[in-house]
Structure formats: C-alpha cells, structure tokens
Structure 1
Amino acid sequence: NSKHQTPRIPASEPFPGFGNFFCRIPFHNRSVRTDSTQWPECHTRPQRLRYPLCTGAQDSAVPGCLQRRFSKVSQLSKQKSPSPPSRREFLRLPTVCAKREHVKQFAKRAFVLLVLFPALIANASPRRSRRGDPRTFYDVTSYILDFRVDPGSHLLRGAVTVNARVVRSGIDSLVLDAGDSLQITGVREAVSGQSLKFKHASNRLSVALPHPAEAGDTLQVVLEYTRSIPEQFGLATTGIGVTKAPGGEPWVTTSCQLTGAHWWWPCKASFFHPEDKPDSIRIRLTFPDTLFGVTNGRLVREVASEPGWKTNEWILHHPRLTYLVALYVGPYTVLKQPFGENGSDTLFYYVLRQDTAKAHREFFPRIPDELRQYQDWFGPFAFWDEKFALVQSPYAGMEHSTAVAVGPIFPHTLRPGEPNPLSWYEEYFNFMAVHEVAHEWWGNAVSARDWGEFWLHEGFATYAEALWVEHLYGPEILHEYMARLSFRIDSSRTVYQPRHKNAREAYHLNIYWKGAWVLHMLRYVMGDSQFFQALRAFNTDPRFRYGNATTADFQAVCERFYHGDLSWFFLQWIYRPGHPHFSVNWEVNGSDVKLAVHDTTFSPNQFRMPLDVILDTKAGEERHRLWVEPGLDTFELKAKAPVVTVRPVGLRWILDGPKTGTMTYFTDLDFIKGTFLDSLVFTNDRKLFVGG
C-alpha cells in the first residue's frame, strides 16, 4: 500500500549505542473514513550503555534489581539468543498498522526497549560515567572558608583552604570549579606557604602540584580570590547579590542551587559532583560592625577583628553539598525559642530588626509543631549539634542547611495592585518554611548521589507540604492539594532525569510534582504504617544520613517494609514517562457488582495499580481492593447486602491525569523564569500550562 510507508529515520538523528528509537506508526482513526490515517510519534534517546543487553544472564556488575528486570524483559521479548536485537529488527515495522494485532506487536517491541534502557541508565554509577573528569581524581575531606564582605564597595574577599585525599595515582594538578567572575589572586600550599602555578579559564581552576601525587596522599591548598557583588536582581545567575533592606541598609545574601557555589567561592562544586560531600566545613565571616552576619553551622565565637568590623566563626560538623553553604549580611537581629524536652534545644530566627513582631507571630506558634511532625514522619533532626535556624531573605527561599532562607511569599507573580489569590497560604501556614525546612531531611541530611535522582530532594519536600496540609486540615484537603499538583505534571518526561551533567540540566518541574505524586501513590500501595516506617528508616539509615542515596536505595528500604517486590512500581512511575487513564464502569444487580476497569492510554508504558472500591450497601459500607493490570480488567464482587452505590475511591490516590482543569499560580517556583524552565508557560489570564 503506497499510502502507508515506514518513514525514514532523519539524518539529523544519530544512533548512540543501539540507536535512537524513532518511529511513526500509521493506524486508522475510527472517527474518520477508513482510508485516512494519523501519525502518533514516540521518541527516546538511549545513551551508550555499560551493561550488555542480555536476557537475564547473571552478571556481578549488574545490580540484583536489574537482573530481575532483565529476566522479566527476556520473557516478554522471547529472545532465544542472549545477543541484543539488531537495529534492523527493532525498526522493521509493518507499513500498515490498521489491525490491532499489528499495533500490539509493535508495542511489545517498544516495551522491550523503553523498559530496558531507562532501567540500565538509572542504576549506572555517576562516577563510572565520569572517568575522564579530573575532579574525580580526589575526594574533598574539608573546607576552611574565610569571607570578608564589604557591602559599601560591593566586594567579597575570600580565602578557601581545600583539604583533599587523592584517589588516583600520578595526578600532577588539582582541578576545581571556579566561575569566571572570580578573580583568583593567589594559590599556595597550606603548610609550606609555597606559591603554586595555576590556570583559570572557562569556569575551571587548575592548580599545578609541586610533584605528582599518589593515591592516598593528602593535599592542602589555599585559594585567595575576590568577587564583585552584583545587585540582588542578578542572584539567579550570579550566586551572590546585594540589595537594600527596607531601612536602607545594605543586605547581602547568596543562593546558588541552579548555578553552583563555584560562582561565589572556588570549590569542587556539588552542582557537578553531589557525590563528594566534604566531611566538615569551617567558616570565618567578617562584616561591618553596623550589620550582622549569619552562615551555616554552630557559632563558635564572635570577635572584634579591627575597628569598624566584626568577625564570627562557625563550624559544620557533618557533610554538606556545597550549594548549601550560604552567607547573609544585613541589619539582622536574632530571636531564640526553646524546643524539646525541658527546652534542651533552641530554635534560632534571624530576621530584620523591623520584622521581629511579625516573626513572633509567624514562626513561634507554628515552627515547633512543624519540627515535631517532621521528626515523627522522617526521623530526628540531623543537625541539633549545630543549630536549627530560619533566616529572612530578600528572595523566596532556599534550603541552606542550618540557615534556611525564608523570604516573602509569591511577590513576583502579582501585578501591581492585584490581590494575592493564595493569601490563605500565609494565613494558615508559611509555605516556604514548610517546603524548605523539609529539605533538612531530604536533600541536606540525605542527598542524591547523582542529579538524575533530583526528585529525592524536591519530590520529598513537596510531599511534606501535602502531609503538613493533611496534619492541619485532614485527608480531604490532602487530596485537594494533590489534585492541584497533578495539573502541573508533564506526562512526556520521566521523574528520573538520565544523562545529565549538572543540577540545572537535571532540573525539571516533574521532580517536584510528579515526585510528590509518586510518594502519594507509594503510600497508597504500601499502607500508612509501612510507608512512614520506610521513610524514617531511609532517612536515618547510617549508610545514607549525612551521605548520598539513590532511588534504588529507597526502593530497597520500601521493599523491606512492604515485604514484597516494588520494582514494577518504581519502573513505571520513576523511570518511565506518562500516566494511565482509567475508565471505571459498573453494573449492579442486587448484591452482585460487575466492574470493568480499562486503561485507555495509548502508551508503551503500561500501568499496574491497586484500586480501592467501596460498595455502599443497605447493611453498611464494604471496601474491596482490586489489582488493575494493563488493558481491560473485569471483576465480579459479591456484597453481603444489596448494593446502593459504587465508589471507586482509589482513583484519588492514583495519578491518572490532571485532577483539575485550570488553576492560578500555585507554588514557590512560579516566580522563577529562565531558559531552563522552557516548559512553564504563563498566559495573560493567569492560567498556567506545563509541557510546551
């Protein structure tokens, strides 16, 4: 049939590894004449893989969860030979797919590739994919940071001492991240004081070592530099900025999650390498004595360094990602609130002097309850030996550890004179405090090993918002909250973001909203008791607390409490895109009920989920849990009394599409604009659409 020909692969689409899977499958649209066609597209780009495309052969280099997946895929693909299918075999598609059987055959082929590649990529070690990166030749053990902030001259002077342990023999240079906006004025050995040659270009700093270093050697290097402090409006791209407080005083702050700490202090930036968290950090902060300086960790001492200046020293005892390091210099005052049994702990609030009364009203009644709930849900706060602190900031907020930034809520989304449609947020709870404080557990105490696992930070903190709403207002408001989040999800993107090199490239709104929905559904599958036990165990596990973790680690913990395999759940919701669209129909005949559940989504990603159904009978309420498999499922239920109504209540726990039609600006990300948020579209009528 000349009307339906298999399209050629565009020449612009190279085939890395096995190759891009790019196809257009013609099939008849039943709503029009039989000779007309429509052309749905599917497109995924698998990267070159370390693991062989095998049929389940036991390989010690392949994680056990992947070996199970290989076995399942092998059964589906029915490959007799362990060798991978050829490119020709995958792309040999029927020219006419009018018959449903042809579509099924194609779906099976697509399923093999779309399941296997994300699973392999998801579990690949980030260190293995960075063999040639000289920043992997050493591990940072500690930093000593000395900052002098001069707001009057818009200048930051700094000295950074890097202590590192060499892990690869024969290296002759120490390569660090240093933004081109830094002016490196000198590099020397910390012990001998010997000056070292260096090269600073393209946001990298390469320091020549006096002699080649061997594995196990320790390096101590001091980097001296200056950095001009731009206006606060450039904060999103510069990492540091200065503005004026309401009283006219200078106000210097930092924030650099999506730019990297290396834009305001030289380091091995977690922006590229989150797996290397220094064991400890000491910070010495000098500032004008008319202002007050705050940073991370425990305050060790305050000294008057010279006339007109003050210096305070802080220490972080536990490992941190570098973007969590922050400084605040401004007209601050400190408020203290006892917490815990007999006031054994103290909560610190650093706020502008004119906002102390507001801070008392906002923080004192709510933050202690929030901390108690988080410790109940997630485990003890990890940094009591340093401090818990909220710091007022001129921007919306950031999870700077032990110095969490909390600023005004939603100011950038409102037009002049327009009332805030979400003022109820500020009335009932401080949204930014709820989200950013949750990061002390998710992102700060337990950090993603690779930025492909970014959802372990943002998805968990976003679901903490929903848990807090449920705590305050009950389960109905919880489901309303989750329904609003569902509208923001881009079904074409996965939660796991593979092949990304840095935090900005891995950043996508799905890590927030779909990540939160993944936890919501996991809670539904596991049950409340097992789910919250798993959260606590995961966060407090010594392998992960103060260290790094992966989705596979979280899955393993959940499986331990679930007492069963959850690979099917994580595979379909984390590593693969899309969502189901369940159509539920039933027929009642006295006490007999026939139900039909059909997933009408046309997607290679097929979903298996439990579905709770309540039968309201004349004798009371009966609850049944049904397991819905891909395709069309039918169930026959027998009630103890005549059935009056049927309620598929489980649908509210399942992401089966947007739960609302339209909505106004909703979360803390609404004010952020940039090229990396290209899927976020604002319209003149204040509606928001995701996925352009």
Structure 2
Amino acid sequence: MRKIISFALIFLLTENVFAQKSQHSLFPHTTPVFTHADTLRGSNTPWRSWWDVTYYDLHVRIDPADSSISGHNGITYRVINMPGARVKTAGGNDIMQIDLMTPLVIDSMIQDGQSLSYRRDGNAFFVTLQNPQMVNSLQTLTVYYHGKPRVAKRPPWDGGFIWDRDSLGNLWIATACQGVGASIWWPNKDYQGDEPDSQNICITVPDTLVDVSNGRLRKRTINPDGTMTYDWFVDNPVNNYDVAVNAGKYVHFMEIYNGLKGPLTLDYYVMPYHLREAERQFQQAKSMLKCFEYWFGPYPWYKDGYKLVEDPYLGMEHQSCIAYGNHFENGYLGGDLSHTGWGLKWDFIIVHESAHEWFGNSITSKDIADMWVHESFANYAESLYTECLFGKKAGEEYCIGTRENVRNDKPIVGHYGVNDEGSGDMYYKGGNMLLTIRSIINNEEKFRDILHGLNTVFYHQTVTGKQIEDYISQASGIDFSKVFEQYLTTTRIPEFDYYIRGHQLYYHWSNVVPGFNMPLKVTLKGTDFSFIYPVEKWKSEKINLTDADQFKVNDNFYVTLKRVKP
C-alpha cells in the first residue's frame, strides 16, 4: 500500500527543513530571518519538484484605464517523479504549486475541462489535481487570473509593472521583475531552476501602442474593441523574469549582423523623437556582438533574434529583447563606473545587459543566491569589451578601477532556498575575481577556451555556482576552490604580508580562509613579474632588487599589500 502523508504535516516539515538548509556556514556572524513565504518562493518545494515545465502559453490583456491586467497561462509540464515520491492529499490526489503575487487574483484553474479546487497561501496557490499524473506524461494546467499588478517603485531594482508616459504624453507601459519574480504579473512556476523549452507571449494593448516582447512576432490581430494583440514566440528556453512587456508608440528599424552562426537580425524599437540618436548609438550593438562572440562563443538566440527596446527605466537583460533606457549616451547615465575614463567610451547598458544573453539567460543560476554567475561575468564582460576596442591594458585598467565601488558589506553568495541574493559586490568584486583568475591561468588561449567551454557545456541550462567553479578548476588544471571560497563567501580581501631582509623576501597570506593558497605575481628581479606561491605560513624567496621600494604586486590580482616589520 502506498503511504499517504497529510498535506498539512508535509508542509510544516518541509518548511522547517528548507529553512535549516538556508542557514549555511557561509554566514557564521549573521542571523538572517527568513519567512515561510521566502521558502515557498525560493526553493524547489515538494509541490514544484515533481513536474518540469515544458511550455508556457501566456495571454495577457492590459487595460491602462484602471492599471489592470487579465488573462490566462497554459502551463504544459512533464511529470518526472514517481507517485510515491510526491506529496499528496489524504485522498491520494497530487498537489501542484502555482505562484501569483498579491494583489492579483486567480479566477480558476482548468485541466482537461475540469475546474480544480485550490487554496492560497500568500503568493503561492496549491491546486489539487484530479487526473492521474503518470510519469513521463505531458499535462496542461490553464490558470485564469486578473487584477492590478504591483507597480514598480524603482525599476529595475524594485520591480513590477511600469505605467508611464513618453515625452509627448503617450502611454508607455513596461515590466521589470528580476529578483522579485515573474509571478508579480503572471502565474507560473516561479522557480529559477525550471524554464520552459519555449513560450508563447500574447499581449493585448490599446491599438495606439506597439507591444514588443521576447522572441519573434508571429502575428498581429486587430480587435473590434480598439485593441491590438501581439503574438510573440520564444523558440528557446527562457527565464521567467526575462519575459517582458514593452508597449509604446515605437518606431522600428533593423539591420543584419553576420555572426558565427550566420545572419542575425538586429531589431530596434525606440520613440520616434529618438530615432536619429538611436541609429547612431545602437551601432555599438554590432561591435559588442563581434567582441562577445569572440570571447564567449555564438550568440545564444539566433532563432529569436536580438532586440534593443527603449524603455522608461535604465535597462534589463530581457532575453532577445534588451530593455534600454541609457539616454543614448556612453557610460552609465553619462558616468564612468571605473573612474578611469574608459567607461565613457561605450554604452554601458548595451554592453552589460547584452552580456547577460550568455551569462544569465543562456547560463542561468538555479538559485538567486548564485547570481554571481550572471553578474560577475557580465561585469567582467565590460572589461573584455574595453579590451576588444582599446587593448588589454585598457581592459585591465577599467576592471581595476571598479574596485572603488566594492563595499564588502556581506558575502556575494546569498542564502539558498529562500530567494536571497547576496551582496551587490557580485558585480565589481566578482569581476575582479575573474580578472585575478585569468591572471593566475596566465594563458590567454586557455582562458578564452574556458569561457567558450562554459557556454558550450552549460548552453541553455540552469546551473549551480558550484558547477561553474568546478568547471573552471577542471578546465584550467588549477584548483580554484579556495579562491572562490575567499571572494564569494567572505567579505575579506586577501592580505599579502611581506618584508625584505637583504636579498630575501619573506611573505604569507593573512585575512584569508583556511588553506588559502592563491598564486601571486610579484617583482623578484627588476621590473618583470614572476609567480610566487604564498600560503598562511611564512615562506621566503630570493630577491634581486636594488631598492626594496621596487617590490610590487601585479595590479591584476585583487589583494591588499602590507609591508610588515621583521
């Protein structure tokens, strides 16, 4: 007889287990408080883990008159767990978790013509399925909903729906929901570790507006009520938070980029009064693609194309549909995040957000605690683009310059299973960690092969941070485990302590994790840099310098330097 465990008991036990797992040893000095809702949002709960999304068929009608939306999502999924491994009701029915945030309301859930019962727990809905859910079978659940979605307070960082007006007073509507989650505006399995293989996105807006969403436009339908429906299709796996609405009085222009996989369409949607500026500024897209295809491999979405879409907020890496709001000027809103001048030579949003097409969209972290996989690589991509345009030294200077922005407020890796991002240092500190790793590898061809390899082995996949760390160590032939532990899980920058006595250099690492053994390039003779291999214990090395002040550590290594007394 199959053992049936009560739904309520499993719910309580699982919540406790997930909460305990999230308090991992990376945070020994903090006592974060996570809630039941955090666990439901951030973990692969028992009501999510038994099914795998294969397709979303999303239909949303947008009504600007009262800032409301309504629609439905057909969720097609494959059953992947045996019945005995699933949480069921006392009557033996399977239970599925669907996510939709307040104040939005689910009207009904339908499967095979049957209206199903469900209960709400905050932003999670638990629906009781009536049909047998056979392993490997494909099933579809259609969720109907409506309401007024949460308005974004400070997009893209505090996301939601954006109801705005362009400079001529026309409606301008958009979405941005990374971090907070796509369920802020449409019902789905809001877990970053599961993506559909493809997705349909049908958006209905007033017929005075043009909607631009992900993928390729299949058709437009003129409706008798003064609205227009835009039917977009994404022919690839896609992150939930990347699915986007961009509705405005857009004009469109395009060009073709001949890339590694052949012709790639580049489509641009902007306000009419910005057309000339966009035609000039968006020329950078081609040099960006050429650079990133060199370093990372082919653009991941040739089937879906590449788009830049002007939006009423700074920008976002919506897959194949990059949101752009950088005012058609170089830098980051006209500033230079590196404080070196190099950051004013190119458009930050075009470069950084497009880098996410490789790291973030094609390679996606299963848990946002590992968002460094997205942001550290996208940050370092800025340096690589600078290098493509102006040479290696310029790229290094750009990356090193961003160290001024590091806060070391908390670890880069967040808590797992509770929808917790780590420190914003995943950008600048993470990028400098990658520059350090590149310098240790000390082989340009091998480093580029590693970046290509990541985008081949993990192409269109969700991953853990550990998988990325292990791949880099394996492909380089160097154990970087302590380097990752130091930079990602602590707030400490390695300190290189040294003193010179005669022709002997004495040195060791301090302020590091146990077993830290990162190689370092220093000047031992003249101005040339040589590798030494510090550990926590003091070591010594012969040195041949005319003056102790000639001793230097290579700037590409993100460490602090301290000369101590013998």
Answer whether TM exceeds 0.5 for this pair: yes
- 2:483 corresponds to 1:569: yes
Match of 2:558 in 1: 655
Superposition TM-score, scaled by structure 2 size: 0.83
Letter of the 2:276 counterpart: A
Match of 1:151 in 2: 64
Q: 1:147 to 1:647 in 2, by over 3 A?
A: farther
Q: 1:595 to 1:46 in 2, by over 3 A?
A: farther
- Offset from partner CA, 1:105-143 (integer Å, 9 cap, x none): xxxxxxxxxxxxxxxxxxxxx99x968531222111110
- 2:101 corresponds to 1:179: yes
Q: Contact conserved, 1:137 with 1:171, CA < 8 A, in 2?
A: no
The aligned runs of 1:441-456 (5 Å cut-off) are 441-456=358-373
Letter of the 2:441 counterpart: M
The alpha-carbon deviation at position 584 of structure 1 amounts to 4.2
Name the CA distance, whole Å, in 1 between partners of 2:223 and 2:182: 26
Residue 441 of structure 1 aligns to a residue in which SS? coil
- 2:514 corresponds to 1:609: no
Residue 301 of structure 1 aligns to a residue in which SS? strand
The aligned runs of 1:582-661 (5 Å cut-off) are 582-586=496-500, 593-601=503-511, 604-605=513-514, 607-614=516-523, 617=526, 622-637=528-543, 647-648=550-551, 650-657=553-560
Residue 354 of structure 1 aligns to a residue in which SS? helix
The alpha-carbon deviation at position 323 of structure 1 amounts to 0.5
Residue 133 of structure 1 aligns to a residue in which SS? coil
- Offset from partner CA, 1:150-170 (integer Å, 9 cap, x none): 223322221110111223425
Name the CA distance, whole Å, in 2 between partners of 1:421 and 1:486: 13
Match of 2:451 in 1: 535
Q: Which runs of 5 or more residues in structure 1 are unaligned?
A: 1-15, 23-40, 48-125, 660-692
Residue 609 of structure 1 aligns to a residue in which SS? coil
Q: Contact conserved, 2:54 with 2:77, CA < 8 A, in 1?
A: yes
Q: 1:537 to 1:210 in 2, by over 3 A?
A: same
Match of 2:492 in 1: 578
The alpha-carbon deviation at position 561 of structure 1 amounts to 3.3
User: Relative contact order: is structure 1 or structure 2 higher (C-alpha 8 Å, sep ≥ 6)?
Assistant: 2
Match of 2:380 in 1: 463
- Offset from partner CA, 1:459-504 (integer Å, 9 cap, x none): 11111112222333334443433333323334463333243411xx
The aligned runs of 1:381-396 (5 Å cut-off) are 381-396=299-314
Q: Answer with 160-169 or 305-314: which moved more.
A: 305-314
The alpha-carbon deviation at position 453 of structure 1 amounts to 1.7
Letter of the 2:369 counterpart: G
Name the CA distance, whole Å, in 1 between partners of 2:271 and 2:219: 22
- Offset from partner CA, 1:556-611 (integer Å, 9 cap, x none): 332343234333333333344422222444467xxxx432334353x554632222
Q: Contact conserved, 1:572 with 1:606, CA < 8 A, in 2?
A: no
Name the CA distance, whole Å, in 1 between partners of 2:536 and 2:71: 59
Q: Contact conserved, 1:229 with 1:242, CA < 8 A, in 2?
A: no
Q: 1:509 aligns with which of 406, 409, 424?
A: 424
Residue 458 of structure 1 aligns to a residue in which SS? helix
Name the CA distance, whole Å, in 2 between partners of 1:341 and 1:380: 7
Match of 2:161 in 1: 240
Q: 1:209 to 1:326 in 2, by over 3 A?
A: same
Match of 2:171 in 1: 250
Q: Contact conserved, 1:615 with 1:645, CA < 8 A, in 2?
A: no
The alpha-carbon deviation at position 21 of structure 1 amounts to 9.1
Letter of the 1:630 counterpart: E
- 2:145 corresponds to 1:225: yes
Match of 1:436 in 2: 353
Match of 2:135 in 1: 215
Q: Contact conserved, 1:615 with 1:644, CA < 8 A, in 2?
A: no
Q: 2:280 aligns with which of 358, 361, 364?
A: 361
Q: Answer with 478-487 or 287-296: which moved more.
A: 478-487
Match of 2:326 in 1: 408
The aligned runs of 1:252-291 (5 Å cut-off) are 252-269=173-190, 273-291=191-209
- 2:267 corresponds to 1:348: yes
Q: 1:44 to 1:330 in 2, by over 3 A?
A: closer
Residue 146 of structure 1 aligns to a residue in which SS? strand
Q: Contact conserved, 1:176 with 1:268, CA < 8 A, in 2?
A: yes
Name the CA distance, whole Å, in 2 between partners of 1:351 and 1:531: 37
Q: 1:524 to 1:176 in 2, by over 3 A?
A: same
Q: Contact conserved, 2:97 with 2:126, CA < 8 A, in 1?
A: yes
Q: 1:627 to 1:334 in 2, by over 3 A?
A: same
Q: 1:307 to 1:43 in 2, by over 3 A?
A: closer
Q: Contact conserved, 1:302 with 1:310, CA < 8 A, in 2?
A: yes
The alpha-carbon deviation at position 305 of structure 1 amounts to 3.1
The alpha-carbon deviation at position 409 of structure 1 amounts to 6.2
- 2:29 corresponds to 1:43: yes
The alpha-carbon deviation at position 427 of structure 1 amounts to 4.7
Letter of the 1:580 counterpart: P
The alpha-carbon deviation at position 290 of structure 1 amounts to 1.2
Name the CA distance, whole Å, in 1 between partners of 2:306 and 2:395: 27
Name the CA distance, whole Å, in 1 between partners of 2:48 and 2:101: 15
Q: 1:493 to 1:257 in 2, by over 3 A?
A: same
How many residues were matched structurally? 521
Q: 1:307 to 1:447 in 2, by over 3 A?
A: same
Q: 1:377 to 1:649 in 2, by over 3 A?
A: farther
Q: Answer with 245-254 or 623-632: which moved more.
A: 623-632
Name the CA distance, whole Å, in 2 between partners of 1:492 and 1:635: 35
Q: Which has the larger radius of gyration?
A: 1
- Offset from partner CA, 1:50-105 (integer Å, 9 cap, x none): xxxxxxxxxxxxxxxxxxxxxxxxxxxxxxxxxxxxxxxxxxxxxxxxxxxxxxxx
Name the CA distance, whole Å, in 2 between partners of 1:131 and 1:153: 35
Name the CA distance, whole Å, in 2 between partners of 1:21 and 1:313: 47
Q: Contact conserved, 2:352 with 2:381, CA < 8 A, in 1?
A: yes
Q: Contact conserved, 2:365 with 2:371, CA < 8 A, in 1?
A: yes
Name the CA distance, whole Å, in 1 between partners of 2:154 and 2:259: 43
Name the CA distance, whole Å, in 1 between partners of 2:560 and 2:535: 17
Residue 201 of structure 2 aligns to a residue in which SS? strand
Q: Contact conserved, 1:606 with 1:630, CA < 8 A, in 2?
A: yes
The alpha-carbon deviation at position 304 of structure 1 amounts to 2.0
Residue 135 of structure 1 aligns to a residue in which SS? coil
Q: Contact conserved, 2:151 with 2:160, CA < 8 A, in 1?
A: no
- 2:241 corresponds to 1:320: no
The alpha-carbon deviation at position 615 of structure 1 amounts to 5.6
The aligned runs of 1:452-491 (5 Å cut-off) are 452-491=369-408
Q: 1:625 to 1:447 in 2, by over 3 A?
A: same
Q: 1:202 to 1:362 in 2, by over 3 A?
A: same
Name the CA distance, whole Å, in 1 between partners of 2:387 and 2:325: 24
Q: 1:628 to 1:336 in 2, by over 3 A?
A: same
Q: Tell me the C-alpha RMSD between the 2 structures.
A: 3.5
The aligned runs of 1:88-127 (5 Å cut-off) are none
Residue 153 of structure 1 aligns to a residue in which SS? coil
Q: 1:215 to 1:344 in 2, by over 3 A?
A: closer
Q: Contact conserved, 2:495 with 2:561, CA < 8 A, in 1?
A: no
Residue 519 of structure 2 aligns to a residue in which SS? strand
Name the CA distance, whole Å, in 2 between partners of 1:136 and 1:206: 13
Q: Answer with 169-178 or 650-659: which moved more.
A: 650-659
Residue 98 of structure 2 aligns to a residue in which SS? strand
Q: 1:263 to 1:334 in 2, by over 3 A?
A: same
Name the CA distance, whole Å, in 2 between partners of 1:351 and 1:532: 35
Letter of the 1:530 counterpart: K
The alpha-carbon deviation at position 286 of structure 1 amounts to 1.7
- Offset from partner CA, 1:241-285 (integer Å, 9 cap, x none): 21111110111100001211111001001xxx2211111111112
The aligned runs of 1:182-197 (5 Å cut-off) are 182-189=104-111, 192-197=112-117
Match of 2:12 in 1: none
